[in-house]
Amino acid sequence: MALIISGIDVSKGIAIGNVHLLNRGAPEVFEHKLKKDEIESEVERFQKAVDEASNHLRGIRDTIPKDTSTDVAAFIDSHILMLKDSMLRKVPVGIIRKQRCNAEWALKIQHDKLISTFEQMEDDYLRTRVNDVGHVINLIQQILKDRQYAVQIDAQPLKGRIIVADDLTPADTVLMQTQSIAGFITELGGPLSHTAILARSLGIPAVVGVQGARSLLRQEERIIIDGSSGMVLAGADQKTIQSYRMRQRKEKEARRKLRALRDVSARTRDGRRISLQANIELAEDMIALRQSGADGVGLYRTEFLYIDREEPADEAEQLNAYRTIIRALKGKPLTIRTLDLGAEKEFDPHFQGPLTQNPALGLRAIRRSLKDIDLFKQQLRAILRASSYGPVRILLPMVTSHAELVQSLSILGQAKQELESEQRSYDQNIPIGAMIEVPAAALSAHIFAKQLSFLSIGTNDLIQYTLAIDRIDDQVNYLYDPLHPSVLKLVDLTLRAGRHAKIPVAMCGEMAGDPRYTRLLLGLGLQEFSTHPSNLLEIKQIVNRSRISELEKPARRILNTTLPARITSLVDSLND
């Protein structure tokens, strides 16, 4: 008899395979007292476990395919960074020494204290880190229990299996993808949880929020999951399985047809040329960019030149990195975002954190650069020098005020003067733009546009700051809504500012890469999309099948609608 279970559809695709029940629960921990001469050896055992946990995560990070979204590595990087923090590296050592207890018990004491502290915080951003802390501490505990833990989980035969678990860590998800799992089901999670974001980035069919899945499904049972509808089907007959296999083949054929669009221009049926560019982070990302047929790079993240290393890259190393990308682009434009450090990202290897009481609202992005002018100017010099090798644009992140913009442009002017005095060449007319990531920037877009060559809307942060929620917090991520009337009005305001000043406006957040919103954005007037390379061909297909003249009036109707259900209905109609 067939069993149908419903969950939350988070990652498209059909998966058919046998169940692999996964238990990632924390090991049971007991206290035992140490003799005085055992204390330092226990401290050493704990420190080795932390190092092994870090090495394990780094090893998994290195397995991530080069054409994968940078979000995937970012999640694992955040866990690696936690393992550097004194809250996990030093405090448990103090507990071991003071209470003469075993490492597992000391770590449990610190875990309980951290969980209690995080849950009492009023700030949403920090409260959401509780799951990350739990994932990292659990990994250390597992290694303390069994030094071969990391090797054992790497060796599990998971190819073609559908993983069923309570939840998955970022490292779990990446590791399983490299082992060619068919898909996964989790009991926890929402559409914007870590697990969901990673599933989409890695192209793994997935359904989350399936309560009781581990008790309803049996080990090695053949099941079907439909990542588009959130349905899990167990006990299906052969006819049903064949029907779903046919759907799989059709989806594969659709992907093949998309690849045929690689060398076709993105142009609407009424002749409007649309620029489709890629977001990249490393030179290796150029492989995916070429496969997508992107018109250039709309967002080049430069944080890798600063984080997870003893010293940030100097001017010469930065110049070399930029020049490598420029040469690979062969005349296509490169938009370089200046460093967006702060929040959960830092480069000081001796930094012990926490980074700030509220990282999302603290010293990050352009604020961080303006506090370290020498570092900022060094990067600007490298970008300017790179511009002599091909078309380059400079993008300033998270500008919130006119004063920040004026100060940034002043430092850029100083960098230009220095290069001129050194007789170094650069593009005298290099375009300068700003990211619109906070409501204040959108409301000031008409002011910024007067002094800039272009604007770029970063919807990930714009939505979060507008709605005051963290999209990866399972407790509030249901509020994360790109179609919220306030978000749409800020997007429209920015597009209008660009048109009035006759400068281009791009969008480089996830909204730009979501096919559900392509026609709406075209109707609102967006003509530059920048997203992960894997999304570009589907966006191009929609663009080439659309007429902007038919989208403008419906888009305005959506913009003037306030009821969420009505907005969703109108967007669905726009996509029919």
pTM of the complete model = 0.68
**267, 354: one domain:** yes
CATH code, domain with 567: 3.20.20.60
**391, 422: one domain:** yes
Phi, psi of 252 (to 5 degrees): -65, -40
Q: How far apart are CA 233 and CA 2, in angstroms?
A: 7
**302, 377: one domain:** yes
**188, 274: one domain:** no
Q: Above 60 in pLDDT, residue 155?
A: no
Position with higher pLDDT, 119 vs 224: 224
- Mean pLDDT, to the nearest integer, of 385-412? 96
How many domains are there within the chain? Answer: 2
Peptide bond into 354 cis (omega under 30): yes
**239, 342: one domain:** no
Q: How far apart are CA 470 and CA 491, in angstroms?
A: 19
**474, 493: one domain:** yes
Position with higher pLDDT, 407 vs 257: 407
From 259, 280, 314, the end of a domain falls on 259
From 239, 259, 279, the end of a domain falls on 259
- Which residues, other chains included, contact 525 with Cβ-Cβ below 8 Å and sequence gap of 6+? 495, 496, 499, 552
**276, 353: one domain:** yes
**205, 272: one domain:** no
Q: Cβ of 2: how many Cβ atoms within 10 Å? A: 10
- In sequence order, what are the beta bridge partners of 224? 16, 233
What would the pLDDT profile of 482-496 be if each residue is shown by its tens digit?
A: 999 999 999 999 999
Catalytic positions are: 194, 508
**239, 345: one domain:** no
Q: Above 90 in pLDDT, residue 450?
A: yes
Position with higher pLDDT, 408 vs 356: 408
What would the pLDDT profile of 356-397 be if each residue is shown by its tens digit?
A: 455 567 788 899 899 999 999 999 999 999 999 999 999 999
Q: Which domain holds residue 152?
A: 1-259
CATH code, domain with 170: 3.50.30.10
**460, 540: one domain:** yes
pLDDT value at residue 482:
93
pLDDT value at residue 359:
58
- Which residues, other chains included, contact 320 with Cβ-Cβ below 8 Å and sequence gap of 6+? none
Angle at 151 between CA 145 and CA 156, to 5 degrees: 110
From 235, 259, 283, the end of a domain falls on 259
